[in-house]
Structure 1
């Protein structure tokens, strides 16, 4: 019986997720629609994003259950997240995925998952 490979496994597991997150936040901090959200420091946010994406992409469950996607949205309600902000987030993520060399079907699957979570976070029309 063939076992399905997760996106996490396809991209090279932990080291690639770490590179993705670090590349992504380098872009986010410079983005005019996103940078202002990160005025209190970034190290803890980078680590939480690494833990979240590890699980979200099919890796080990390192991320606390109380910060799962439904709770994740609640934790972000203090920020005005519009579709425009989500699109900017996706732009940075897509550029980061490209920059670290993920392409083809794996890239498409990742971006589909990222789009789902980005639009789930929208809390203002």
Structure 2
């Protein structure tokens, strides 16, 4: 009977959100789908001065991976996220907020996460979007 009462390592209680939702692949799918929407959005696309959205997509992917408990590659390469500072050069108003959330909602929906994970992720995304508003309108 040795070990019967031991909790197996790797149970959900010990896993990070990152691991619970499928790790790097899930976050890469999320952000790629999000940027597909951004690429066609007349309000958001001008906020990305790089001709290719690939670098922005990679930065956002690495940020979310780190935030949700995955590898710290983002901080190792870019330092502290300082999200409001990094977004300060852009006028982020309510319309930009709404457009951002519209594309993120599509991306989250396509992941097909368990309801509790989807709700947790969406709460963060709505909070993050609201905190980036820096312009009236």
* TM-score using structure 2 length: 0.80
Moved over 6 A (4+): none
Match of 1:66 among 60, 65, 79: 79
Which residue number in structure 2 is paired with residue 32 of structure 1?
42
Q: Which whole-Å CA distance do the structure 2 matches of 1:15 and 1:93 have between them?
A: 17
Which residue number in structure 2 is paired with residue 49 of structure 1?
60
Give the unaligned 5+ runs of structure 2: 1-6
Higher helix proportion (structure 1 or 2): 1
Whether the 8 Å CA contact 1:29–1:38 is kept in 2: the answer is: no
Give the unaligned 5+ runs of structure 1: none
Q: Deviations over 1:78-118 (max 9, x none)?
A: 10001221121111111101113224111110010111111
Which residue number in structure 2 is paired with residue 13 of structure 1?
23
Q: Deviations over 1:26-46 (max 9, x none)?
A: 011112321222242211111
Kindly name which structure, 1 or 2, has the bigger radius of gyration based on alpha carbons.
2
Q: How many residues align?
A: 123
> CA RMSD, aligned part only?
1.8
* TM-score using structure 1 length: 0.87
- Relative to structure 1, the CA distance from residue 74 to residue 111 in structure 2 (aligned partners, 3 Å threshold; closer, same or farther) is same
Q: Which whole-Å CA distance do the structure 1 matches of 2:95 and 2:71 have between them?
A: 31
